[in-house]
């Protein structure tokens, strides 16, 4: 059996809203873990494609940047992101009926560090289509996966909002280090949950660098490490942890791959999950402040429009005694 996982982020650059980092893992029966990684788009081609205009109406799984807003004004901007994520989740369990249920399934609590009134509302799901069509997509995903011996074993997300992001920036050198830290939390979760099966985890290259040995050693000081290769296109490492209190030895291979969202389906699905979580939380934020100021135009949180939005909600924040730093990234 092969456990094949991916990690990716959304919201790296905006001024407002969370940085979201997600992970996705599949198990593949009867696959030699020492062989090259499979092309899951090909393996699951009866149900999955990279295109949003597929004549067979298959489910689009691709880099989230290629999916949001595709299809014109007649198509909800989250249609393809939502369809892919919910179909994958639905192939392994019940479909969530709201964004609150989805966030819970993914391990996301928007109020984990403090209550945030701008994230209080819930959104019924799906938002981009109807539930029967999502159920059909989930069943199609399930049938193709069952036939191929493929199973979604993990889908999770971590978020870091304005206050938490600013606190991390005070401890780390730059945004890249903050993002890397969240990716390592996912790697540790995979290690603890699936490490007895030696998963291979693919992550997009971080900050354009090719050498990760020191950063991995700092993140996992109790692991032994073998460098499998370091190059512009890909750097790979094998990590092993000794058995603890009679438990199994745990190990994994982590590969940092340039353009991984286009080459590894688990990374693409992680990218979609992170983006969908961010979009749903931005929807909650916009609804909250628009209820207080109906003239307010929504924002995606990126710097230029985020500044406009912040100027317009500043009186609302002051009136509610909410510090700007709780929402806004300082750097």
Q: Is there a domain that residue 179 lies in?
A: yes
Q: What average pLDDT does this structure show over 50-63?
A: 95
Nearest 5°: the CA angle 42, 48, 50 is 85
Entry pTM = 0.96
Pairing of strands 200-204, 224-230: unpaired
Map residue 5 onto helix, strand or coil.
Answer: strand
The answer as to whether 71 is a domain residue is yes
pLDDT digits (tens, 9 = 90+) for 10-48: 999 999 999 999 999 999 999 887 889 999 999 999 999
From 119, 117, 85, select the one nearest 102 (Cα to Cα): 85
Reduced to 3 states (helix: H, G, I; strand: E, B; else coil), residue 107 is coil
Residue 126 confidence class, pLDDT cut points 50, 70, 90:
very high
**Are residues 279 and 306 both part of a single domain?**
no
Same-domain status, 144 and 221: yes
CATH of the domain at 13: 3.30.420.10
Provide mean pLDDT across the span 101-114: 95
Q: What is the pLDDT of residues 228-267, one digit of tens each?
A: 999 999 999 999 999 988 889 999 999 999 999 999 999 9
270 and 308 assigned to the same domain: no
For residue 292, being part of any structural domain is answered with yes
pLDDT in tens, 293-330: 999 999 999 999 999 999 999 999 999 999 998 999 87
What residues make up the domain containing 304? 286-326
Q: Is residue 331 part of a domain?
A: no
Residue 42 burial by Cβ neighbours in a 10 Å radius (0-12, 13-18, 19+) = exposed
Residue 146 lies in a domain: yes
Provide the H-helix boundaries in the chain: 40-43, 79-90, 99-106, 131-148, 162-171, 175-194, 213-219, 265-292, 303-320
Task: Note the residue count of the chain.
Answer: 331
H helices then E strands: how many in the chain?
Answer: 9, 9
Is there a single domain that holds both residue 231 and residue 197? yes
Closest CA to 118 of 330, 303, 302, 298: 298
Is 159 among the domain residues?
A: yes
221 plus 100 within the same structural domain:
yes
Q: Distance between CA 178 and CA 46 in Å, rounded?
A: 38
| Residue 55 and residue 200 share a domain | yes
Name the token pair of 316: 């609302």
């Amino acid at each position: 059996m092969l456990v094949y996982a991916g990690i990716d982020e959304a919201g790296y650059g905006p001024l407002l809203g969370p940085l979201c980092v997600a992970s996705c893992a599949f198990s593949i029966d009867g696959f030699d873990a020492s062989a090259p990684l499979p092309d899951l788009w090909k393996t699951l081609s009866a149900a999955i494609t990279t295109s949003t205009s597929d004549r067979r109406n298959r489910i689009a799984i691709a880099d989230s940047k290629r999916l949001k807003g595709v299809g014109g004004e007649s198509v909800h901007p989250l249609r393809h992101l939502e369809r892919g994520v919910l179909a994958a989740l639905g192939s392994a369990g019940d479909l969530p009926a709201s964004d609150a249920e989805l966030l819970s399934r993914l391990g996301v609590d928007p109020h984990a560090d403090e209550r945030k009134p701008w994230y209080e509302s819930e959104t019924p799901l799906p938002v981009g289509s109807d539930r029967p069509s999502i159920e059909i997509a989930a069943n199609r995903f399930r049938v193709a996966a069952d036939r191929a011996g493929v199973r979604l074993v993990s889908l999770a997300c971590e978020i870091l909002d304005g206050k938490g992001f600013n606190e991390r920036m005070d401890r780390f050198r730059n945004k890249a280090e903050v993002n890397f830290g969240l990716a390592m939390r996912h790697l540790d979760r995979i290690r603890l949950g699936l490490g007895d099966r030696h998963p291979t985890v693919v992550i997009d290259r971080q900050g354009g660098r090719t050498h990760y040995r020191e950063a991995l050693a700092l993140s996992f000081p109790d692991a032994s490490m073998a460098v499998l290769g370091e190059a512009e296109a890909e750097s790979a490492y094998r990590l092993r942890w000794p058995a603890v209190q009679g438990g199994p030895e745990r190990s994994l291979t982590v590969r940092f791959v340039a353009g991984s969202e286009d080459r590894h389906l688990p990374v693409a699905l992680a990218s979609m999950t992170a983006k969908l979580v961010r979009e749903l939380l931005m929807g909650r934020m916009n609804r909250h402040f628009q209820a207080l100021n109906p003239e307010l135009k929504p924002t995606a949180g990126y710097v230029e429009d985020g500044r406009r939005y912040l100027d317009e909600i500043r009186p609302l924040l002051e009136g509610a005694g909410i510090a700007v730093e709780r929402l806004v990234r300082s750097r």
